[in-house]
């Protein structure tokens, strides 16, 4: 039986992909055949005949093997803008059935799958669909990546509330040090830890080299 999680973030550009890749490497070190999935991505370049999103490429490199972008990143939009705007401009419909079918195929080939959302937890994907709806469709326990910077306590607690309001389980959270100069870093982590009601899976210190394989100390939720 495949173990899977949905990885959400408190905002965009808070290191969600980096932490997802680090979780993949952690699971692989535990002997699990592990893949990452980026169901929807916005912003891509044509490389060797493939439309490749940078986040999807990071998850592709981190995985136990390459399942192909059709499964790993079934919906890839070209423009690096809000996905609902990019989808409208490019005439692309966000097809949940296509996404869930790709996920099912990944599960049939792996012991563990980490599904990374796009942006924050409530990013619009269309006129009536947002990332939270997508998370509900997956029905997976959620790992929340908190970008540690000024304001992160409020963002973390509000996102945790939103996750639970959708009937989802918050399996744990990661404190990701995106600002190496953040004042009172430890106190901010402690403030979130005592209020969020979910286990801290690890603190990811700032990595100047951007290598998720070098991250140590992360836990995989039960």
Burial of 170 (0-12, 13-18, 19+ CB in 10 A): buried
Is 38 noted as a catalytic residue in this protein?
Answer: yes
Q: Which of 38, 60, 149, 155 is catalytic?
A: 38
Spatial distance between the Cα atoms of 178 and 176, rounded to a whole number of angstroms: 6
Spatial distance between the Cα atoms of 160 and 88, rounded to a whole number of angstroms: 29
CB 210 within 8 A of CB 18: yes
> Using H for helix, E for strand and C for coil, what is the string for the chain?
CCEEEEEEECCCCCCHHHHHHHHHHHHHHCCCCEEEECCEEECCEEECCEEECHHHHHHHHHCCCCCCHHHHCCEEECCCCCHHHHHHHHCCCCCHHHHHHHHHHHHCCCCEEEEECCCCCCCECCCCCEHHHHHHHHCCCEEEEEECCCCHHHHHHHHHHHHHHCCCCEEEEEEECCCCCCCCHHHHHHHHHCCCCCCEEEEECCCCCCCHHHCCCCCCCC
Residues acting as catalytic residues: 38
């Amino acid at each position: 039986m495949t173990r899977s999680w949905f990885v959400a973030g408190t905002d965009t550009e808070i290191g969600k992909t980096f932490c997802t890749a680090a979780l993949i490497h952690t699971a692989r070190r535990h002997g699990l055949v592990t893949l990452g999935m980026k169901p929807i991505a916005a912003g891509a370049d044509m490389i060797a005949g493939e439309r490749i999103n940078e986040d999807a490429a990071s998850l592709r490199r981190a995985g136990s093997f390459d399942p192909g972008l059709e499964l790993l990143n079934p919906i890839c939009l070209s423009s690096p803008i809000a996905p609902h705007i990019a989808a409208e401009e490019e005439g692309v419909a966000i097809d949940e059935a296509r996404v869930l079918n790709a996920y099912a195929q990944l599960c049939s080939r792996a012991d563990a799958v980490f599904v990374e959302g796009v942006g924050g937890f409530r990013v619009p994907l269309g006129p009536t669909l947002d990332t939270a709806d997508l998370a509900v469709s997956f029905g997976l326990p959620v790992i929340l990546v908190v970008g540690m910077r000024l304001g992160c306590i409020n963002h973390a607690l509000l996102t945790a509330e939103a996750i639970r309001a959708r009937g989802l389980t918050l399996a744990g959270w990661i404190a990701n040090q995106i600002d190496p100069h953040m004042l009172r870093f430890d106190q901010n982590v402690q403030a979130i830890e005592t209020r969020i009601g979910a286990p801290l899976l690890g603190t990811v210190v700032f990595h100047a080299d951007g290598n998720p394989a070098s991250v140590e100390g992360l836990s995989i939720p039960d």
